[in-house]
Structure formats: structure tokens, C-alpha cells
Amino acid sequence: MTADNQTTTQTTKSTNNEKYVLSVDIGTTSLRCHIYDKNVKLMGKCQEKMYVDYPKQGYCEIKPDTLWELFSVVCRGAVKDANMSFDQITCMGLSTLRNTFITWNRHTGEPLHNFIVWKDLRTTKLCKEWNRSIALRSFNLYNRMLYTLKRCNRTLSAAHFKLVPGTPAAGFLWLIQNNPEVREKMLDGNLMYGTVETWLVYKLTGKHVTEASSAGVTGLFDLFEMNWNTTLLNILQIPSNCLPEVIDNDGDFGKLNKSIFGAEIPITAVIADQQSAMFGECTFNEGDMKLTLGTGSFLSVNTGSQAYPSLSGTAYPAIGWKLSSEEKPCYILESDSSDTGTSILWAQQLDFFEEPKQTISLANSVENSGGVFFVPAFSGIQAPINDCTAVSSLIGLNPLTSKAHIVRAVLEAIAFRVLQMHTILQSNFSVKLNSIRANGGISNNDFILQLISDLTKCPVERAENLEMSTLGVTFLAGLSMGIWKNKEEIYKLRRVEKVFTPQTKNLKHYIAEFVDWQRAIDRCLKWYSHN
């Protein structure tokens, strides 16, 4: 793993009075490090592929040593690309994938296992068994949470105690039951838990901290009270002393140990990747929407100071960010689909095209998909169906089917999934939804963005800078250090590269196609069960 793939973007060495933010985005498929100046000029960058392991059916892991090595490589590579030294960096920000966690020995710092990634489905059977009996087992504990839910005008139900595959709440319980070393260290008080950002900060500065955007989606955090949910921890029998302190996104995450990069760089912002992309898109007002098209698709809407309840698991509330200058957190409502970039990569590996950009001309070379439908469910199908046992498929093949038909079907499926999520958010959120601000690698695809605009009847804006996760945490880190004074100053730096407006001429055709595509999904549900 080297930094040889980096591209030189700036070779002018900085002067002493200039301020630079180094931001790192740790994703499921890659790690990126960008260095920006006050005008959001990209001074240096470096990217490396993330190495994800699939040791068993349903398992998805990242080796901690691999993550640490890649982190070091991209940081050093970006600084070299910028023709700088680490002591010229003003501050650092971290944006990380969510719901990917690890535990380690409090005394030695040694990991007790690999990172369990958000796409991991090993807990499916455990979650089914737990959720089947949770209403009876935890009913006597409901009253302990009533005061919180009444104040937030929420209705308490067994759903508040359910486990969801892919969340640290479920993964932690699975480890307690299946990993003797984790159980032993937990019982003797020597266990430490953290998601990716917690572990990295601990390695870099020695502080055991996290922030609300990451903690809020673990299944262990109270979104309304803004702290670890002691009732749920008691039910799951997880001791609170192993959990990190939760601080503001622009809080004090400590300074880097000088032995790492030769400079004590302060970490002044940490945030989850999807929320970081929202901040980078400047979705600061209620109704503002962000669509990230990367490994998965994440459609999120700013709901202001109110957290909207999840309806039947179709959309879920989360904390967007909590700033030290603001009394209340900003909440978001989100829906996701796991297999977006994954589907493009799958088609590329089958040699349907050499480069993803070729999919646009291939899709446009045929009038339609020729009756072919693709179901993107390599990781199951998410909202509004939520079936982790679903399987991907191509259906409707015939002797005239070409690779162009198949590629078009793959692209259409990505847009269809976004339509499902958009419909969910519209039905859950009472405020008028604004234009969709798209980012992520797949948002380079004009065919997909135009179809999303047509289907949702909503303008889709593509930013000049598609790397919103690094940009968002850059803004947060810079705000903390006074590089930018406020959000208004940041908003002026926003740049839109292209706007896709709804075209109604093909909408009637696609409504019928969408109905048939949903029929294809029905044939892929409940395909297998995880052991």
C-alpha cells in the first residue's frame, strides 16, 4: 500500500501565516485525505483502496492494522502532494463510516477482534430471536423511558428495544455471547468500545471520545436526551464504563502524539460520513436534502431541531451535528440503500464496460432496458422493504438482451431505489422538501441523476466538489479554529457544477417500469437465512 497513485494538485509551498485543514474520510471502499486552504482550494490529496474481508457468509470485517496503515499512507501522501510538512497543518478533521466498531484491551490497547463493518449480517439470527421475545422480556422496563418520550411527544413501543442487524448494539451483544475474550474483559472492567472515529482518535491522541452523529446510529444512544441510553444498556447487559464520552462535533478531540507525524496537530472536528456530506452541501435549513451516491445511496433531509420518529423502519431519525455554538443539535431523517457503487462494480467485474463513465453511453444506446430488471440486493434490500435475506437478481432476460440492456437496468435500479427513499421521506416529513444536492462518485453519472430528477419531480444539483465527506468535516474543523466565522461564510463557498431538472416526457413509461421492477423485487425476498 503506497501513495504512488496520488496526483499532484499544488506545488507552491505555503507561507507561515496561511491556514490549512487536513481532512480524512474513511469509507467502506476507500480512504481519502484532502488538504484545503481558507478558500477551499484543494492543495493536496491522496486516496487508497480500503481492504474489506468477508471471512464467512454474511461476515464483513476490516483489519485494524490495515486501517491504521492506510490512514498513515493517505495523510503522508496528501502532505507530500501539497509540498508541505505536517507542522504547516493548522488542524485535522475526521469523517468516518458509521456503525463499524471494535473493542480493545483497556490496558494494552490491543484490539480483541477485527472491525465489524456496517454491512455485516452475522447478527441476523440473533436479532430475529431477540425481537421475537423483546416485548415480553422488557415490558417491565418501559416506564423508565416514559419521561423522555413524553417530553419528546413520542409513543413508546417494543420497537424501541429491537435490535437491527448491522448496528453495534446487535454486534456487541453477539460478541458477548460468542467471543470469550470480549466477555472476560467486559466483566473485569478492562474492555473499551468504539466505532472507527473513536478508535482512531484514541490511537492518535489517547482520548476515548466520540460524537453524536456516530453514536446516534449505534442503537445504544438516546437521540432526545443526547447521552448513552442506560435502559437499553441494562437490557443488553453492556457496562457503560466501556463506552466513550460523547462531545460536540467541533469539540476538543485532543492533539496528535508528535511521534506519529512529527507535529502535534489538533483534531478539531469529527463527524460521521453522511452527516459530513450534508454539512459540506450546506444543507443548513429545514427541508434541505442531500443524496450521497457512493458504495450505498443515502438520502437525508434536515429536520431542524426536531427528530422525527421512524415509521415501520422505512426512514430513521439521526443526529446531523451538534455544534458547541448551538444549544440544540440539528436532526436529520434518513433512508438508505446499501448497493449502489457495489452494483456498478459488479457489472464492471463482468466486463460489461471498462470504466464506469462508459455506462452513460451504453444506457443511452438502447431505448429501454428491453424488459430486463436488476434488483440491487447484495446486502439485502433496505427501506421500505427491509429484508436482509433478499438476493440480487437479473430478471427478464431473453435472446435479444445485450449488455447495454443490462447496464441500463442496473442504472435504472439505482434511480428506482432513490425514488423509494424519496417517497418515504415525503410521507414522514411535513415540511416541503427542497432540491436534492447530489454528491459521491456515482453522482458523476448524468443518466442516473437525470432519471432521479424525472422520477422524484425534483431538481437535482451536482456540486463541483463531489468529495463532500472530506469537505464537510473541513468546514467543521475550520469553524472550530476560526478559519471561517459562521455558516453564512461557508455557504458563500458552495459551488454547483450542474442542475438536472425534471423531464416529464418519459415519466409515464417509467411509472410502468417501476411497477414491474417492484414485482421483480418481490421474487427476490426471503431467499435465504443467515446462520
Q: Which tens digit of pLDDT belongs to each residue from 485-517? A: 999 999 999 999 999 999 988 888 899 999 999
Question: What's the farthest any 2 CA atoms get from each other in the chain?
Answer: 67
Q: Which tens digit of pLDDT belongs to each residue from 177-228? A: 999 999 999 999 999 999 999 999 999 999 999 999 999 999 999 988 899 9
The b/e string for 285-313 (b: 16+ C-beta within 10 A; e otherwise) is: ebbbbbbbbbbbbbbbbbbbeebbbbeee
332-350: average pLDDT: 94
**How far is Cα 123 from Cα 163, in angstroms, rounded to an integer?**
9
Identify the pLDDT of residue 531: 44
Q: How confident is the model at residue 307 (pLDDT cuts 50, 70, 90)?
A: confident
**68 pLDDT exceeds 70?**
yes
Among 501, 511, 413, residue whose Cα is nearest residue 457: 501
**234 pLDDT exceeds 80?**
yes
> Contact 439/277 with Cβ under 8 angstroms?
yes
- What pairing do the DSSP bridges indicate for beta strands 316-321 and 191-195? unpaired
Domains and CATH numbers, the chain: 287-337+434-500 (3.30.420.40), 341-418+507-522 (3.30.420.40)
Among 443, 369, 437, residue whose Cα is nearest residue 407: 369
**In the chain, % of residues over pLDDT 70:** 90
Residue 297: strand, helix, or coil = strand
Amino acid letter for position 197? E
Q: Which tens digit of pLDDT belongs to each residue from 445-482? A: 999 999 999 999 999 999 988 889 999 999 999 999 99
Q: For residue 303, give the H/E element and its range.
A: strand 297-304
Identify the pLDDT of residue 184: 95
Kindly state the DSSP code that residue 111 receives in the 8-state scheme: B
**32 pLDDT exceeds 80?**
yes
Residue located via cell numbers 416529513: 429
Tell me the DSSP string of 372-403.
Answer: -EEE--BTBB-TTT-BTT---EEE---TT--H
**In the chain, % of residues over pLDDT 90:** 75
Tell me the DSSP string of 440-509.
Answer: SGGGG-HHHHHHHHHHHTS-EEEES---HHHHHHHHHHHHHHTSS-SHHHHHTT--EEEEEPP--TTHHH
More confident residue, 130 or 179: 179
41-51: average pLDDT: 96
| Count of other CB atoms within 10 angstroms of residue 448 | 28
Q: How confident is the model at residue 155 (pLDDT cuts 50, 70, 90)?
A: very low
Identify the pLDDT of residue 144: 43
Contacting residues for 14 by C-beta, under 8 A, at least 6 apart: 20, 37, 43, 82, 84, 88
Identify the pLDDT of residue 396: 97
Q: Which tens digit of pLDDT belongs to each residue from 369-417? A: 999 999 999 989 998 888 888 999 999 999 999 999 999 999 999 999 9
Q: How far is CA 337 from CA 2, 119, 232, 348, 357, in A?
A: 32, 11, 27, 20, 21
Q: How confident is the model at residue 134 (pLDDT cuts 50, 70, 90)?
A: low
Identify the pLDDT of residue 312: 57
Among 211, 223, 218, residue whose Cα is nearest residue 173: 218
Beta-strand (E) ranges in 8-145?
21-26, 30-36, 42-49, 61-62, 91-96, 101-105, 115-116
Identify the pLDDT of residue 386: 87
More confident residue, 160 or 185: 185
Identify the pLDDT of residue 505: 85
Identify the pLDDT of residue 529: 61
**Distance from CA of residue 28 to its chain's centroid?**
9
Residue located via cell numbers 447495454: 404
Q: How far is CA 126 from CA 384, 386, 527, in A?
A: 22, 16, 18
> Contact 478/21 with Cβ under 8 angstroms?
yes
**Assigned C-alpha cell, 301:** 433531509
**Distance from CA of residue 412 to its chain's centroid?**
22
**Assigned C-alpha cell, 204:** 492518535
Burial environment of residue 243 by CB neighbours within 10 A (0 to 12, 13 to 18, 19 or more): buried
Q: How confident is the model at residue 261 (pLDDT cuts 50, 70, 90)?
A: very high
Identify the pLDDT of residue 434: 83
How large is the C-alpha radius of gyration of the chain?
A: 23
Residue 237 gets the label, from left (phi > 0), alpha (psi -120 to 50) or beta, of left
**How far is Cα 348 from Cα 353, in angstroms, rounded to an integer?**
6
Question: Any idea which of 132-146, 300-314, 495-509 has the lowest mean pLDDT?
Answer: 132-146
Contacting residues for 65 by C-beta, under 8 A, at least 6 apart: none
Identify the pLDDT of residue 149: 42
Among 254, 260, 236, 29, residue whose Cα is nearest residue 141: 236
